[in-house]
Structure 1
Amino acid sequence: MMSTWKSVLLASAMALTPVQAFAAQEDPEADAAAVDVAADIEADEAAAASAARERMQREMDEAIAFVEKIFDTSDLPPVEPARLTLAQTTTAALLPTGSLEKMMDNLYGKMFSTFLNELNGSSDLMISIKTGVESEQVAALDDKSKEAIADLFDPHRKQRTDQITKFVRPLISEVLTDIEGPMRDGMAKAYARKFSADQLTSINAFFSTPAGRSFADESLALQADPEIMLAVARAIPPMVTKFMDRAPELESEFKSVDLPMERQLADLNEAELKKLARLLKTDVKALKEHRDMWNAAAATEAEDVDDAEEDDFTYDRDSWSEADRQRVEALEAAYEEAYSAAYDARMEAAENARKNKSRKPST
């Protein structure tokens, strides 16, 4: 069956067809035109879906390659088979089938149900959006009134929500089960490298006891327990505040390390450009074109800023206080002096380099 939006497109196309095409219903060209429109829509949709899938696959491949680069294990020693076998027993206990789904239920179950409830039409926000009545006024209504309002718009909203849960939940379960196998394999290798054979044997012995089995079954899900999640969430604001309070101290520490600014392509001399071209296996001309393109873009941006400043009276120095104007002019003078000194130093260094090169005996 064609989707609603496809039907709308087809109907729109047919509406634009001359009236004569509909007057002669037996005209095969009219039928062919409608079929062609539908086929074009189907083909466009298929092409767009295929392109989107290919793009997504490329992005996922790039992301995986980046992760593999960060967590490269190629330089690690091979895992002893005996220890790996013991570790597989350990991880099978720690990550039994269904444990990821259990953890996700703890973490997102309530969030998912709350999200669905917000979308089912009875929330203050949705009623306000649909009716135009301010959300504060809607919030003052009792729940029974809100339910009645939502029922007016969608008498089947509960069934609609149930459908989402019914159709999406099995897919989530399937995906999480698919992840568990590779996750167990990775955990087994990590445990085999981290713990000795004796330690793994002791851990497995504990997991074979009633208390150990209970601990292993719940250990992963407990990481997403509401108590833990709430405690971590409450600990974040003080952490953020601490970073903000330490910002001036950190800034002064960074400034105390007098490192030169990172260089850009425009800062490289001819010899450095040639070296860069060799390393990149490209030519100097391409690098210079790229450099000049960025310089032109920067100049355009600077012009835009200047234009904006001209349009804004606050950049007019006559509108500044005397103290602000003197401070700006002093800094500008210092900048010009420093720039001039830096330029002179570069020229002197280049001249010295030429002199040193001319003094070296030719071989």
Structure 2
Amino acid sequence: MMIRKTAFALFGAATLALSPVAAIAQDDPDMEQLAMLGTMFEVEPLTPEQEARLPMARGVVEKILPEGAMMEVMGSAFNGVLGPILEMTNEDEGAALQGALGYAPEELAIGEDASAEILKMIDPAWRERNQAISTMTQTMMSDMMTRMEPIMRNVMSELYAIHFTQEELVDIDGFFSTPSGLSYARQSYAMAGDPRIMAAMFSEPDLLFGSFAQMPAMMEEALADVPQMRSYAELSETDRARLMKLTGLSAEALEEAMQAAAETSAIGM
């Protein structure tokens, strides 16, 4: 069902965007930067015919997207899919050590016992912190879904008015007015977050994700004709002086920053 897929896609997008959006919100209480994003998308006004279908479309969407449905998406997805992933991340001792020292255990050539001892000294509450962040994330996402639901209901009403004729809307409304239709609308959201989906996806990882192994070679081929980022050594004295003036960094700090950026870019490739 289109609206269910749209809602679940939005949930995934919102999850990925949560951190930068939160950062923008903290830095800019007026939300000006977020408001600017809305100007990127041009929306055609409804035609008179579509406007005439809007009341019927809104009635259909109210049945397909009943109050609280997006919270059910949130709950089922978090408990069935994201929950186990976050739980595994919350117990990742190697990531905790890297966050505390800037080095992964393998970089320091130390084992689990040494990692645990180090963390006990410098960050004994790392598990509690990870759990608190997970809980906070779920709370924020739940709030976002609650606020998003009426927006989704309005926009999907317009989309239904645009994409379906009056006769089609009558037929759709007829189905979703039946007990079976109402049950389908409600259960489809819960099914979207069922862990069975993730289990199926990872049951044959070679089949589904095998192409990822080819990504480095594909990336190299795709970027073969694209000039590489210039290194500090490749810059002229004039360029170095100008960069130091613009950034306020010393020559050593600038070289170190460019080297770190180059290494990060290489890892990403």
In the superposition, the TM-score normalised over structure 2's length comes to 0.51
User: CA shift at 1:231, angstroms?
Assistant: 8.0
Match of 1:90 in 2: 64
Q: Shift of residue 165 of structure 1?
A: 3.7
Q: How does 1:118-129 map to 2 (within 5 A)?
A: 118=92, 122-123=93-94, 126=97
Distance of aligned partners of 1:100 and 1:178 in 2 relative to their CA distance in 1, 3 Å threshold: farther
Structure 1 segment 23-42 matched on structure 2, within 5 A:
none
- Is this contact kept in 1: 2:90–2:127, CA < 8 A? no
Could you tell me which runs of 5 or more consecutive residues in structure 2 were left unpaired when the two chains were aligned.
1-23, 223-233, 237-269
Identity of aligned residues (%): 11
Where does residue 99 of structure 1 map in the other structure? Answer: 72
Structure 1 position 154 matched with structure 2 position 126: no
CA RMSD of aligned residues (A): 4.9
Secondary structure (helix, strand or coil) at the match of 2:39 reads helix
Unaligned runs of 5+ in 1: 1-48, 249-304, 308-363
Letter in 2 for 1:102: G
* 1:135 aligned residue (84, 103, 106): 106
Once residues 212 and 45 of structure 2 are traced to their aligned partners in structure 1, the CA distance between those partners, rounded to angstroms, is: 33
Matched residue type, 1:117:
E
Instruction: Compute the displacement of 1:241 (Å).
Output: 6.5
Q: Is residue 87–residue 188 contact of structure 1 (8 Å, CA) maintained in 2?
A: yes
CA distance in 2, matches of 1:170, 1:163: 11
Q: Is the 8 A contact 2:97 2:103 kept in 1?
A: no
Match of 2:176 in 1: 203
Counterpart residue number, 1:226: 198
* Alignment correspondent of 1:324: none
Aligned length: 193
Residues 190-234 of structure 1, C-alpha deviation per residue, up to 9 Å, x if partnerless? 34543421232113322345xx36633424435994146548985
**One-letter amino acid matched to 1:188:** S
After superposition, where does 1:273-312 map in structure 2 within 5 Å?
none
Indicate the residue corresponding to 2:28 in structure 1: 53
1:215 to 187, 193, 210: 187
CA gap of 1:178–1:232, structure 2 versus 1, over 3 A, is: farther
Counterpart CA distance in 1 for 2:110 and 2:136 is: 32
Distance 1:238 1:204, change over 3 A: farther
Amino acid at match of 1:221: G
Relative to 1, partners in 2 of residues 1:133 and 1:238: Cα closer, same or farther, differing over 3 Å?
closer
Indicate the structure (1 or 2) with the bigger Cα radius of gyration.
1
TM-score w.r.t. the length of structure 1 is 0.40
If asked which structure has higher relative contact order (CA below 8 Å, sep 6+), I would say 2
CA–CA separation in structure 1 for the residues paired with 2:102 and 2:32: 43
1:190 is aligned to 159
CA distance in 1, matches of 2:121, 2:192: 44
